[in-house]
Structure formats: C-alpha cells, structure tokens
C-alpha cells in the first residue's frame, strides 16, 4: 500500500462502471477502505456507481458494506471501522443506466456537475471501467461524445481500463485507437493488478538501489530466468469467458510480460513514469520472434488438488466437451540486447496446478569446480535469487555453504526476507497503490499504448499458428500436477529443469 506519509490526493469523483460487479465488490471497494485506513483518500470524495440494476444509492451502499464485512471477517481483518466506512458510504450515489445509451451519460454529466458544485471537487473525475471488455470501447466513446473526458475546465479526467486489453494485436490496436480518439495517452491508465504487488514494485528497488545486484544483473552472471504464475484453482465457473480466451491471452501479454519487463528492463534515467515505461517498451521490442517450437500448451484432466477430486476442464460448466482451449502455457523467450543475449527467460502459467505460486527465479552461473576437485563435493549447486510474489511476498537468496564437520562438504542454504515479518503490512488487496497512483496522476505502474501493442506483437505468431493447428492429446496433464511433460522437455533440451511448484 502507498506509504502513509504521502499527501492525500486532490478531491475528486470516482465513477465506477459495473458498480454491482465482482471486481467492484472484491477489489475496488476494499482497496478504497484500506486507502482510508492509511489516510490516502481525497479529503472530498464522491463515489458514483453506474450499472443496469434497479436499486437505490442506499441499497448499493448496504450491499457493498455487507460484502466488505464478510471479506474482512474471512481474511482476519476484523469488523468494519465505521469511522473509516461511513464517510465513504455517505458519498455513494447509484445511477441506473445502460452503458451504450446516450441518456446514461447525460444523467451522469448532470450528476457530476451537481456534486462538483456541492463538494468543491475541482472538476476532477476518475472513470473506472470495471466491466466486461466488450464495453471498453462503447463506454470510452460515449464519455467522449458527451464531453465528459475533456480537461478544459482545469480539473483532471482519467480513465482506468482493466484487462484484457484486446484479444490479439489487431484488437489491441483498435482499442487503443478508440481510446486515443477521445483521450490523451496521459489520461489512460491500463491497469494490471500484478503491478500492485509489493514484491513486483520492489524489483526496481532491488536492482537499482543496491550495488550488490545491479553489476551482476546481466548475461555475464545469470544463466537463465524462470517466471511462474501457477494457480491450483480451475476456471471458477467462467467457462464462457475462458473458452474465448485461454491461458495465453488471459495471462501472458499482461501479467507474465509485466514481470518480464520489470526484471529485464534497462535502468531508466529517472523514476519518472515516462522514462520507466519507455524502457519497458524497448525491452519488448528486443524480444526475439516466437515460433511454435518455443511454446507448449496444455489442458488439465481430472485429478486431486488439495486432497479433493476435481473435474477435467472439458467437464467444467459452459465448456465444450471437445474443447481445444489451453489452460496451461509455457514458453522460452529470448531478449536480443546487450544485457540479455543468450539468457533464456522461461515462462509458465496454468490452472489446476500443484499449488498457488507466483515467483521470479533468477539462476546464476555456476562457480568453477577446480578448487573443490579433491573434496567429496559431487556437484556444486548454482545460486538462486527468488522473488516470491504470492502467496507470501518474500525475497530469498540461495547459495552454497560448508556443512559443519571435518570434510569439505557443501550444502545449499538460504537467506530470506519476508515483507510481513519486516514491515508488518496492513491488509491489502493489491489495488491500493494502483488506485492511489491514478488519483495523483502517477502512470509508472500502468501500460502505455506502444507497450501493450509490442507485447501482443510477441505472441501474435503463436496465436496465428495455434489457430491453424489443433493440439494433440488434450487433456495432457492431471489436475494437481506441474503441467504437461512437454513443458519439461522445453527446458530439458537446453540442459535445464523447472523449479518445483510449491
């Protein structure tokens, strides 16, 4: 979460399209509550919820309070603090409206003008599209046509866009063109909740603020990098969505590639948002074009996860019985620049795997063996730097040490830093920093148009190749396993192996 010493952002209105949706209940409202706890909400804040449901403002506020109370109790966060919640709830207004009708935006404009006068909001508005991606273009267009995103009145007008940002390169370009027709790039905040994780943000601090790491963060000292985003859950009733999306579209151009960018980007000249985002875009442009031989796809069968028998993907609700949609993808990525030439980045993500785990594992090259030639050391383990993003945010350094005793026997040991032990973090859902940054106008952690298109450009050859070839032997991994055997072969041909998912 944002540091408590920061000044509160300017007074503003936040308009949430999809006010009754899952994203609003699970993430946006809890994040705002946690920002209030940290003293990082605007002094004057108006919350406007827009959705098609027929309900009053009091009913909307009550439903969100009930859900927040349940979430806090389930997560061990205690009861709602009314001193924090009541000011938020008092500022909630619900507007029933169709996202694609002009009348909705006329009513919204009138409501914003009225609230701005009453609460002296300075003309500042943050629009949040917490809706299905098919509404991104229509909502942006209607806001533009209604004049609601113009910044000629002195205040800011910003738009948060959730993922998926396009389904391929062509649709990403089309969406960018639609948004940029009505808004400037500086007004658009393409959000990826992975970048709200403290461990992900800390990659820049780890690399650039420590003389210990930056000199060895290159091809001279690093053998390869493994990035894993593993989930032990299935598709959670989202069959209709997943059948159109699959693991690659859902996770790779956004979540996984954001982790790659933070790990591999060149040092920026400053921590200014544009300097950082420019370096990320440069990194994507240096990625070697992928071929089908660089990528493995899989689909889960039935199996046992956490002691429970679970169904195969093809048996899930709203999934075709002969579906060829992938629930797992692994790939070998090469970055052709001076820092990373010859250093493979191995990426994998999947559903129904052995455990829930997100980590960036950096393997350093082995030390020379000569010194230990006459000792009982059979194999000198390589050193690892492991950045754990979830479930427990931590940084671990594995290295070799002498085991006690008369013989020169080595053992791999670990030093570990855990965020919760050192900083005693307040409860967070991962959106606090991102929403706060939107409010203050800091775009550092958000994707720029060229970065989005460059990321889709990397996977475009794979998407086209898969469209013309059917996968063989689907399903090809059991639920509760570490994925298909072909993913192991991907590394084995380079003389390497995956870290265990745990």
> What Cα–Cα distance (Å) separates residue 492 from each residue in 246, 253, 271, 361, 363?
25, 25, 39, 17, 15
Q: d(Cα 91, Cα 104) in Å, to the nearest integer?
A: 20
β-strands 410-418, 477-479 pairing: unpaired
Alpha-carbon dihedral 476, 482, 488, 490, rounded to 10 degrees = 80
Instruction: Please state, in angstroms and rounded to a whole number, the distance separating the CA atoms of residues 339 and 336.
Output: 8
Q: Which residues contact 384 (CB under 8 A, 6 or more apart)?
A: 361, 362, 363, 364, 396, 397, 398
- Phi/psi of residue 72, each to 5°? -65, -45
- What CA–CA distance (Å, rounded) separates 419 from 200? 12
Peptide bond into 389 cis (omega under 30): no
Among 259, 251, 256, 50, which residue's Cα sits nearest to residue 164? 251
- Do the beta carbons of residue 260 and residue 347 sit within 8 Å? yes
Q: Look at strands 384-390 and 188-190 and give their pairing.
A: unpaired
Nearest CA to 442 among 275, 265, 202, 287? Answer: 275
* 240 Cβ contact list (under 8 Å, min separation 6): 318
Annotated catalytic residue: which of 5, 224, 255, 424?
255
DSSP string, 150-211: --TTSS-EEEEEPSP--SSHHHHHHHHHHHHHHS-GGGEEE--GGGGSHHHHHHHHHHHS-T
- Assess whether 255 carries a catalytic annotation: yes
Nearest to 257 by CA among 231, 235, 286, 292: 286
Residue in 297, 335, 252, 301 with CA at minimum distance from that of residue 487: 297
Tokens of 54: 């027929």
**Could you give the count of Cα atoms lying within 13 Å of 188 in the half-sphere of its Cβ?**
25
Which residue intervals of 209-343 are DSSP H helices? 239-251, 257-264, 273-285
Residues that are catalytic: 255
């Amino acid at each position: 979460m944002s540091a408590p010493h920061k000044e509160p952002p300017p007074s503003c209105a936040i308009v949430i399209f999809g006010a009754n949706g899952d994203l609003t209940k699970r993430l946006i409202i809890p994040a705002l509550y946690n920002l209030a706890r940290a003293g990082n909400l605007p002094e004057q804040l108006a919350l406007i919820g827009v959705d098609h449901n027929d309900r009053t403002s009091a009913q909307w506020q009550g439903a969100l309070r009930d859900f927040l109370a349940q979430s806090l109790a389930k997560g061990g966060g205690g009861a709602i603090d009314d001193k924090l919640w009541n000011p938020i709830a008092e500022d909630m207004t619900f507007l029933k409206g169709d996202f694609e009708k002009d009348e909705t935006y006329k009513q919204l404009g009138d409501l914003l003008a009225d609230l701005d006068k009453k609460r002296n909001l300075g003309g500042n508005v943050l629009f949040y599209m917490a809706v299905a991606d098919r509404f991104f273009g229509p909502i942006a267009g209607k806001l533009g046509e209604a004049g609601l995103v113009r910044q000629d009145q002195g205040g800011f007008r910003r738009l948060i866009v959730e993922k998926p940002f396009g389904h391929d390169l062509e649709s990403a370009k089309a969406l960018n063109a639609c948004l940029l027709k009505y808004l400037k790039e500086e007004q658009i905040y393409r959000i990826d909740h992975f970048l709200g994780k403290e461990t992900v943000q800390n990659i820049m601090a780890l690399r650039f603020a420590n003389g210990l790491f930056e000199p060895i963060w290159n091809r001279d000292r690093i053998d390869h990098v493994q990035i894993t985003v593993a989930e032990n859950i299935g598709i959670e009733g989202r069959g209709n969505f997943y059948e159109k999306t699959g693991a690659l579209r859902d996770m790779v151009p956004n979540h996984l590639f954001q982790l790659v960018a933070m790990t591999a980007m060149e040092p920026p000249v400053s921590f200014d948002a544009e300097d950082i985002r420019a370096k990320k875009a440069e990194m994507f442009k240096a990625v070697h074009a992928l071929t089908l031989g660089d990528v493995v796809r899989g689909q889960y069968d039935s199996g046992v996860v956490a002691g429970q028998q679970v169904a195969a993907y093809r048996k899930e609700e709203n999934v075709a019985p002969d579906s060829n949609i992938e629930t797992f993808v692994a790939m070998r990525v090469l970055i052709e620049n001076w820092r990373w030439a010859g250093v493979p980045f191995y990426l994998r993500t999947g559903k129904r795997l052995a455990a829930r785990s997100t980590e960036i594992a950096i393997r350093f090259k082995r030390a020379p063996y000569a010194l230990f030639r006459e000792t009982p050391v059979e194999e000198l383990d390589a050193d690892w730097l492991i950045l754990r993003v979830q479930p427990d945010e931590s940084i671990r350094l594995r290295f070799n040490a002498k085991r006690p005793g008369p013989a020169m026997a080595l053992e791999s040991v670990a030093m570990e830093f855990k965020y919760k032990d050192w900083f005693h973090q307040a409860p967070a859902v991962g959106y606090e920093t991102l929403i706060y940054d939107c409010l203050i106008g800091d775009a550092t952690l958000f994707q720029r148009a060229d970065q989005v298109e460059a990321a889709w450009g990397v996977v475009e050859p794979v998407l086209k190749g898969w469209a013309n070839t059917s996968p063989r032997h689907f399903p090809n991994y059991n639920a509760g396993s570490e994925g298909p055997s072909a993913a192991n072969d991907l590394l084995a041909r380079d003389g390497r192996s995956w870290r265990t998912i745990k």
